[in-house]
Structure 1
């Protein structure tokens, strides 16, 4: 048994191979090695995203409590954009992975172009709404007038430039589906590295650049993401990945596009359900004042720091499922999911211990206001209580998506978020006078329920027969 455990030297060698993307065949050989090779760049990619989320809120928290609350309210709306972007990206990953597993690289390239066309079209509509109605959007979310006046510029810039969010998601999903997870990783390192450098410059001002306050955070983010999108497009057109796009691919292919739309509808639906529930939860939280809202926002940003790596491992499972189903190896696909789920659950267990023990100290790194610290720490502890189930559930849900079965997670989200989480949160927080604590428990219990239902349905094996 001990001979099967790799040495530190071997692990470092595998790590180097993983981040450089030299290994791209995941339909044969060791499953554990395949999980490692795909997970490492995806975890690093998501870790970079989560580092930016924490750094961003760290800088903005130096501006004002209203600035932090503005980000919380705006991002609860931006999650609706993420719903469309992630839904389309699920379709991209599932279809590209399946074509790569079938060794149809031309079909993978054609699907890639169509999903980019779809993303640009949706982003254009959202941009118009965001540029014209930023104050109204914040008002609908329950923001007070002083917060709207201070923060509407952030909302306007972030929503106006949402095409950078959309394309960053979609093109990275294409790379992941092709097994080029390392390229997706380097793209996000570029994007978020620039964000981290530009954040303090645009928020506080530097040299000829004036201090934009909270609006500066949105400007930095849009520039960082936009630069990364240009980098992504260069990789696609110059053929530096498994997928190469040529000029003759730049035409609308109705059949390919309709297939992507069909697969993505379930993905968009499941995330619209999930993210709209976050919007309603944020609306409930706004009833308890800016300090509570700020504590909740900081806690969620901190949790993203650990959820993103776990999400990266879940994405690895989705790619393994898609490619192995394409290679007609459903049993290998299933084994990959159970192993990835176990590793993810262990990781989340370790994180939950840290949050349970050091919640207050973590929140105080960002803000020392007593109410902000109290409610932020309470949020961390309660949600961390369900982290192990959440870790396993994430992998199983993403595996359905990787198979192209986006309808099953949609129904699971509908039951757990809309039929359970929202009513429970409102009754517990408002009717039973539990306040913010009622919302926190609603989040935890809903995620545990998702894991239980997801695992039960995954065992039935119907996802193995889905065609994309």
Structure 2
């Protein structure tokens, strides 16, 4: 002991260096090679979205057995069903995934768990809004869209069942968003695949009345979808609340915190305008083409099916960027976040563009699958040769949209979609007043795809993804 009563520290202990800090656990989404990680996350989504396409084909097949009026009824309700699924999945689901990924990227797992519980509340509320809106106003909307007689009655019957359970798809897609925000793409995709199989079997059985099951018609088709979704919800609920997931939603002692809602809605609510505008754009363009006759409209429809199928590839890649970009932004690694966006854009542009351009050169490979009518085949060839190579720009726009969701800066790509809507509306009106040909409208459609892709890229380049620079405090000057 020294004279001051302070214990002396041996020289060797004074000079011993402090132990190094524990290294941060490796996270593939933050530290892994971008392209390999992106493709690893994207491939389950490709399979799941392909299954979704099969559901649309299968439903069309067995609804056709119910009669032409049933097919017409499905055509009436299909836009609202697609809008529900894209809003709850790609838009609000992307907002949920973005918020959770950013929290995990910042190392705040507790915040991520709180965000997950608030996301479930948002899904519940939006589901109730869709349910009440369609049950109250759905029949009038379907009549406004042209539903009459038995066609209207069957469309209303489908609406009453499907939208009577609108909370189900909203909760299913919200849970998928939570899991995707943690980087788990396999479970939501596997459940989408199994749900698609169940949907085909149950919808066909209940709709057509196979075996001892009575025929419920359109009500049975809608019920089959909801039952399949409920099975997915059951599995995801067990996985989330059993502690197996990286994030466990907080339910006990949950306190409502408005900043959590804002963190999700500032991305998800704005993103919801994108699918809404997309449906509007297609509806307006289809209405304009209808003036040229059934053959032109049918030819365009065949080309639009290819567009839907190929852009689902970009959709799968885009969804994979949400957790990758979100975690990078949360960790303040902005340069990596932007590289993820551009690499995903190149992957989508090249993959979609290669297949689409091949079909544009050899359109009969696609057209022969759908029709033998010479007039329809000619119109479809004309559309594909003009517009199909530009599908690559739709792929690019899709990845920019989802990457911007991950960065919580989605307003730019949404405004790019607004610009496309205005371009189609104004350009189509101008062409109609000039007595334009269908080819002129096909050029308009192709040009709008380029416009959307370019503006989406520009919005990403001009938008700050990182935190705002701190302004240093001014020090007082001593006189």
TM range (shorter): 0.7 to 0.9
Q: Unpaired segments of 5 or more residues in structure 1?
A: 1-22
Per the TM alignment, residue 426 of structure 1 is displaced from its structure 2 partner at its CA by 4.3
Aligned to 2:52: 49
Question: TM-score, normalising length from structure 1?
Answer: 0.83
Contact 2:353 2:389 in 1 (8 A): no
Q: 1:466 to 1:217 in 2, by over 3 A?
A: farther
- Find the aligned partners of 1:374 and 1:145 in 2 and give their Cα distance: 35
How far did 1:438 drift? 6.3
Instruction: Determine the structure 1 residue equivalent to 2:336.
Output: 332
Alignment of 1:106 with 2:104, yes or no, is no
Residues in 2 aligned to 1:215 and 1:92: alpha-carbon distance in whole angstroms: 31
Query: Hey, what does 1:18 align to over in structure 2?
Result: none
Deviation of 1:180 after TM superposition, in Å, equals 0.7
Q: Which of 213, 216, 223 is residue 219 of structure 1 equivalent to?
A: 223
Could you say which residue in structure 1 is the equivalent of 2:453?
451
Q: Would you say 1:420 and 2:423 are equivalent positions?
A: yes
C-alpha spacing 1:208/1:308, structure 2 compared with 1 (3 Å):
same
CA deviation map 1:386-432 (0-9, x unaligned): 11122222212221121000221222122221x2122333444x545
Aligned partner of 2:120 in structure 1 is: 116
**2:195 paired residue number:** 191
Assess if the C-alpha contact under 8 Å between 1:70 and 1:147 holds in 2.
yes
CA positional deviation for 1:303:
3.7
Q: 1:272 to 1:228 in 2, by over 3 A?
A: same
So what's the TM-score if we normalise by structure 2?
0.81
More helix by share: 1
Structure-1 residue corresponding to 2:272: 268
State the 1:25 CA deviation.
2.6
Partner residue, 1:230: 234
Q: Offset at 1:46? A: 2.1
- Using a 3 Å threshold, how does the CA distance of structure 1 residues 363 and 277 change in structure 2: closer, same or farther? same
Hey, what's the Cα distance between the residues in 1 that align with 2:430 and 2:206? 42
For 2:451 and 2:306, how far apart are their aligned partners in 1? 23
Cα distance in 2, alignment partners of residues 146 and 279 from structure 1? 23
CA-atom RMSD in angstroms: 3.2
Tell me what 2:12 maps to: none
The equivalent of 2:415 in structure 1 is: 411
Matched residue, 1:32? 35
1:346 to 336, 343, 350: 350
2:85 maps to 1:73: no
Q: Alpha-carbon deviation of 1:291?
A: 7.9
Q: Which has the higher contact order (CA 8 A, sep 6+)?
A: 1
Q: Which residue in the other structure is 1:88 paired with?
A: 92
Provide the rounded CA distance (Å) in 2 between the counterparts of 1:131 and 1:285.
32
| Paired residue secondary structure (2:30) | coil
Check the 8 A contact 2:400/2:413 in 1, yes or no.
no
Rounded to whole Å, the distance in 2 between the matches of 1:290 and 1:66 is 18
Given that residues 69 and 293 in structure 1 are in contact (C-alpha distance below 8 angstroms), is that contact kept between their aligned partners in structure 2?
no
- 1:240 positional shift: 2.2
CA spacing shift, 1:394–1:89, aligned 2, 3 Å = same
5+ residue gaps, structure 2, are 1-25, 470-479
Is residue 137 of structure 1 aligned with residue 141 of structure 2?
yes
CA distance in 1 between partners of 2:107 and 2:183 (Å): 12
Secondary structure (helix, strand or coil) at the match of 2:337 reads helix
